[in-house]
Structure 1
Amino acid sequence: MSRLAFRAAAAVVGVALLALYLTAALFVADLLRAAWAARPDLPVLLALLAAGALASAYLSYRLGTAQLLANLEGDRVPRERAPDLHRRIDSLAARMDLARPNLYVTDARTPNAFAVGGGSDGGALVIDRSLFRLLSPREMEAILAHELAHLEGNDGFAIAMADGVGRSLVGIATVAALPALLALSGLAAASGWIRGRPSDRSGLFARLHHALAGGLFAGFVVATLVSRSRSRKREFAADDRAAEVTGDPIALARALRRIERAAEPSWPLAPFSTHKRTDEPAERWLSTHPSTDERVERLRQTAESQGPTRRIPVGLSGASVGRGRSRR
């Protein structure tokens, strides 16, 4: 095929692509325009959008919680199978004026403990079996108090709702921008074909498309960062509450260190493991938990503030160990 014939064919393809994308953009714009014309008054519309976002987040939270418990590789533990553990949980729940949660013991790949649910149903407390070998009784009590603090504050629900609402807002913005995205994508593709460079996406329309898509993605990232930031703050709050209830912040600090060290892989390719420590700011911002160093240092300061009689173990003074990533 001669160059002239190729350019002619490419121009035809470009025009066809442009017509296809613009038709799709106009169709979506008409749908949005019709929906906007049929909208209720602005206060009612905002109330409906807010209700929809909250309902979506709540449904996602409830379904996610139920699925998590259904997929646990463990069992619900009745009182007769672990009376001492149940008595500890009863005592802590009574001190915290908290509805008693259901207890599950599971076999995970790493030492872990986490709480799900909360509110009037009490939620569920999930403990990995390895923690019973790893932690002393006082350390186990501190970890239990930390997780019960999450249930007391209904943290999982609050964080899930904030995350769901943020994602819903980004989703609404994406739907509103969809006609522009389609039109710019069509213009960028058509421009490349018409110029005889089908793979070239360096023109003005391509840059505008990337800018708009990047802005929407930035909104998603911001919503995620806000949710993760709140999650890290709730971890600190749960640490403080556990230290208050047990009166032993050092026990929790020791437990965090033990779990962190036990979770670190020792096999030769450990640098490539997901448990590796990192100082990358982006990874810290996206983490749901603060670093173990930060948590231990806060607990150490809490212990020091309780008086000079509180002994600080040498292994807990300063930042001697890197970051943990457990869901504790």
Structure 2
Amino acid sequence: MSRLAFRAAAAVVGVALLAVYLTAALFVADLLRVLWAARPDLPVLLALLAAAALGSAYLSYRLGTAQILANLEGDRVPRERAPDLHRRVDSLAARMDVARPKLYVTDARAPNAFAVGGGADGGALVIDRSLFRLLAPREIEAIFAHELAHLEGNDGFAIAMADGIGRSLVGIATVVALPALLALSGLAAASAWIRGRPGDRSGPFARLHRALAGALFAGFVLATLVARSRSRKREFAADDRAAEVTGDPVALARALRRIERATDPTWSFAPFSTHKRTDEAVERWLSTHPSTDERVERLRERAEAQGPTRRIPAGPSRTTAGRGRARR
């Protein structure tokens, strides 16, 4: 095929692509225009959008909680099987403004505990069996108090709602911007084909498309960062509440250190572990938990303010990021 014939064929392809993308953009724009024309009064519209965002976040929270409990590799523990465990939790719940949670013991082979749910149903407290081998009784009680503090503050619900509302707002913005995204994508592809460079995305339309898509992605990241920041603050609040209820911040600090040491691998392939430490600021911002070092330091200061206490074990020199969704 001669160069002239290739340029002609490429131009035809470019025009066809432009027609397809612009048709799709016009269809979406017309659909949005119809929806906007049929909108109720502004206060009613805002109320409906808020209700939809809240409803979506709540449904996601409830389904997520049910899925976590359904996927547990463990069983619910009745009182007759572990009366001492139930007495400990009953005692803490009586000292806190929280309904008594359901108890689950798992065999995840990683020392951890986390709380899910909350509110009127009391939620659930999930404990890995290895904690009972790793921690002393006072340390186990401190970890339980920390998790009950999450249930007391209904933290899981609050964080899920904040995250869900943020994502809903970004989703609405994306729908509104969809016609522009489609049009810019079509213009970028068409101009590249017409210029005889199908893979070139350096033109002005491509740059505009990337800028708009980047702005939407930045909104998604911002919503995530706000939710994660809220989660880290609630971890500090739960630490403070546990120290207040037990009167022993040292026990919680020691428990956090023991769990950290048990979950941080020391073997030669540790860099490939999901539990590896990180000094990256972005990863720390995206973490649901503050570093263990930071939490232990706050507990140490609280213990010193209370008076002479037992020594808190020193931690590693580097900051350790919080671990995923499981709440300690």
Contact residue 189 and residue 198 of structure 1 kept, 8 A: yes
Q: One-letter code of the match for 1:289?
A: H
Q: Distance in 2 between matches of 1:136 and 1:324?
A: 24
Q: Match for residue 31 of structure 2?
A: 31
The residue that corresponds to 2:44 in the other structure is 44
Q: How does 1:149-228 map to 2 (within 5 A)?
A: 149-228=149-228
Report the TM-score when normalising by structure 1.
0.97
Q: Write the letter of the residue equivalent to 1:177.
A: A
Give yes or no for contact 1:275–1:325 (8 Å, CA) kept in 2. no
Return the letter of the residue paired with 1:160. A
Contact kept in structure 1, 2:109 and 2:130, CA below 8 Å:
no
Matches of 2:225 and 2:148, distance apart in 1? 25
| Aligned residue identity for 1:80 | E
Counterpart Cα distance in 2 of 1:238 and 1:45 = 37
Name the stretch that deviates more: 80-89 or 259-268.
Answer: 259-268
* Superposition deviation, residue 272 in structure 1: 1.8
Q: In the TM superposition, what whole-angstrom CA distance separates every residue of 1:263-321 from its partner, at most 9, and x where no partner exists? A: 012332112212111110000000000000000000000000002x22333x24x7656
Structure 2 residue runs of 5 or longer lacking an equivalent are none
CA RMSD of aligned residues (A): 1.1
- 2:130 corresponds to which residue? 130
- CA shift, 1:96, in A, is 0.4
Alignment of 1:17-96 (within 5 A): 17-96=17-96
CA–CA distance in 2 between the matches of 1:24 and 1:169?
23
| TM-score normalised by the chain length of structure 2 | 0.97
| Mapped contact 2:287–2:321 kept (Cα < 8 A) | no
Quickly say closer, same or farther: Cα 1:131–1:146, change in 2 above 3 A. Answer: same
The CA deviation at 1:60 is 0.5
Aligned-residue offset at 1:322:
4.1
Matched residue SS, 2:80: helix
Partner secondary structure for residue 196 of structure 2: coil
Aligned residue-pair number = 325
The equivalences for 1:274-313 within 5 A come to 274-307=274-307, 309-313=308-312
**Matching of residues 224-263 of structure 1 within 5 Å:** 224-263=224-263
Q: Deviation string for 1:211-256 (max 9, x for gaps)?
A: 0000000000000000000000000000000000000000000000
Runs of 5+ unmatched residues, structure 1: none
Percent identity, please: 85
SS of the counterpart of 2:115? strand
Paired AA for residue 17 in structure 1: L
**Paired residues of 1:260 and 1:324 also in contact (CA < 8 A):** no
Distance 1:220 1:109 in 2: 34
Give deviations 1:51-96, integer Å, cap 9, x for gaps.
Answer: 0000000000001101110110000000111111110000000000
SS of the equivalent of 1:63 reads: helix
Code of the residue aligned with 1:258 in structure 2: it is R
SS for the counterpart of 1:256 is helix
